[in-house]
């Protein structure tokens, strides 16, 4: 923390991380990409048979300066032996902070003494001939069983002369890299990234605003439909996201138990429409009847780890 200054709490927030206090959690379980709490990816590492348990817990008032309401816990249930377990946030756009000095600040603790490594990775996307990933130097902090506040400066490389792919998936990735060959629990709170060399206090964003920022990447909707369906006919319903999304999302429909169709998977199709809308289509081929359904719809436009 040498040479860093903490400003007064009245300073305007410019945290480049979304959901840095882990307040927004739309999912009830981790998905295949490793997301549970919005915008944060947890990975168990590789080598051996690594496994993890992740979750968000409440923090009692007075535990940490600034009184964050939540902490994020990564428990390595079985160790990794090849690539490190990690906690990531992928910030859209590899141009973010390029050629600048940035300051990362956060609270962390562990069940016992462990080293935590921190770095950034510039990913230039896919499609065409994008440049290879570029990693910053790794910095290491020593964790103990008491909460500590850390502030680290990073020189984010310039992207001059680099080529960005056409996929729209380029990003700057924050990487918390955890120990190999051991089990552990590491907890985080109030993670903040900002340009410059000054570590400002964490400023809590109202949940309604932070949810909108998260919704650019992931949303949950509910839809229902009632209509006539005849043999050879077609029933349709369009789901329009509450907020615009980063790209056309993938859609997962999960029935809440109120449905008369589709009667078989072959009768149901999901069409992704321009404008990031989603349409569920039911081609009635098995029987003639009125059709109805009620479903949760999980819309995913998240970035994935490179």
Q: Tens digit of pLDDT for each residue in 75-109?
A: 999 999 999 999 999 999 999 999 999 999 999 99
What does 153-219 look like in DSSP terms, one character per residue? Answer: EEEPPP-TT----SSS--EEEEEEE--SSS-EEEEEEEEEEEESS-BPPP-PPPHHHHHHHHHTTEE
pLDDT value for 263: 41
pLDDT at 179: 98
Is the same domain home to 193 and 99?
A: yes
Task: Kindly state whether residue 4 falls inside one of the protein's structural domains.
Answer: no
What's the half-sphere exposure (Cβ side, CA atoms, 13 Å) at 28? 3
Q: Residue 8 falls within a domain, yes or no?
A: no
Pair 186, 113 in one domain:
yes
Residue 58 lies in a domain: yes
Tell me how far apart the terminal alpha carbons of the chain are, to the nearest angstrom: 30
Question: pLDDT tens digits for 250-301?
Answer: 888 776 655 544 443 334 555 566 656 666 665 555 555 555 666 788 889 9
Do 45 and 175 have their domain in common? yes
**What does residue 297 show for φ and ψ, rounded to 5 degrees?**
-125, 120
Question: Do 194 and 67 lie in a common domain?
Answer: yes
Distance CA 15, CA 23 (A): 15
CATH number at residue 264: 2.60.40
- The answer to whether the beta carbons of residues 131 and 124 sit under 8 Å apart is yes
Q: Which of 278, 236, 284, 279 is nearest to 262 (CA)?
A: 284
- Return phi, psi of residue 211, to 5°: -60, -40
The residue among 304, 301, 280 whose CA lies nearest residue 292 is 280
The last residue of a domain, from among 215, 242, 264: 215
The number of folded domains in the chain is 2
Do residues 84 and 194 both lie within one domain? yes
118 closest CA partner among 136, 98, 134, 132: 136
Is 208 in the same domain as 282? no
Q: Coil, helix or strand for 266?
A: helix
Domain annotation covers residue 34: no
CATH code, domain carrying 109: 2.60.120.260
Structural domain range at position 170: 41-215
Tell me if 128 is assigned to some domain.
Answer: yes
pLDDT bracket for residue 129 (50, 70, 90): very high
Phi, psi (degrees; rounded to nearest 5) at 113: -65, 125
The pTM for the full model equals 0.87
Query: Is residue 251 included in any domain, yes or no?
Result: yes
The structure tokens listed for 265 are 């998977």
């Amino acid at each position: 923390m040498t040479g860093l200054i903490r400003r007064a709490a009245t300073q305007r927030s410019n945290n480049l991380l979304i959901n840095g206090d882990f307040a927004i959690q739309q999912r009830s379980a981790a998905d295949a990409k490793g997301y549970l709490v919005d915008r944060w990816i947890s990975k168990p590492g590789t080598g051996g048979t690594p496994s993890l348990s992740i979750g968000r817990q409440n923090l009692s008032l007075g535990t940490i300066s600034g009184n964050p309401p939540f902490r994020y816990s990564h428990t390595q249930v079985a160790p990794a032996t090849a690539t490190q377990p990690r906690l990531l946030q992928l910030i859209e756009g590899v141009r973010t902070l390029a050629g600048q000095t940035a300051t990362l600040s956060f609270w962390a603790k562990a069940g016992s003494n462990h080293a935590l490594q921190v770095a950034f990775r510039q990913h230039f996307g896919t499609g065409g001939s994008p440049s290879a990933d570029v990693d910053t130097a790794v910095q290491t902090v020593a964790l103990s069983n008491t909460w500590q506040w850390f502030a680290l400066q990073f020189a984010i490389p310039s992207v001059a002369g680099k080529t960005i792919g056409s996929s729209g998936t380029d990003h700057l990735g924050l990487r918390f890299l955890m120990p190999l060959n051991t089990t552990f629990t590491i907890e985080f709170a109030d993670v903040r990234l900002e340009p410059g060399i000054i570590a400002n206090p964490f400023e809590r964003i109202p949940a309604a605003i932070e949810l909108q920022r998260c919704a650019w990447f992931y949303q949950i909707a509910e839809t229902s439909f009632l209509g006539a369906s005849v043999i050879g006919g077609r029933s349709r319903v369009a789901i329009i996201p509450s907020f615009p999304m980063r790209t056309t999302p993938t859609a997962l429909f999960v029935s809440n138990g109120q449905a008369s169709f589709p009667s078989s998977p072959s009768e149901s199709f999901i069409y992704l429409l321009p404008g990031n809308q989603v349409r569920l289509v039911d081609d009635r081929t098995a029987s003639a009847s009125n059709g109805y359904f009620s479903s949760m719809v999980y819309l995913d436009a998240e970035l994935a780890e490179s």
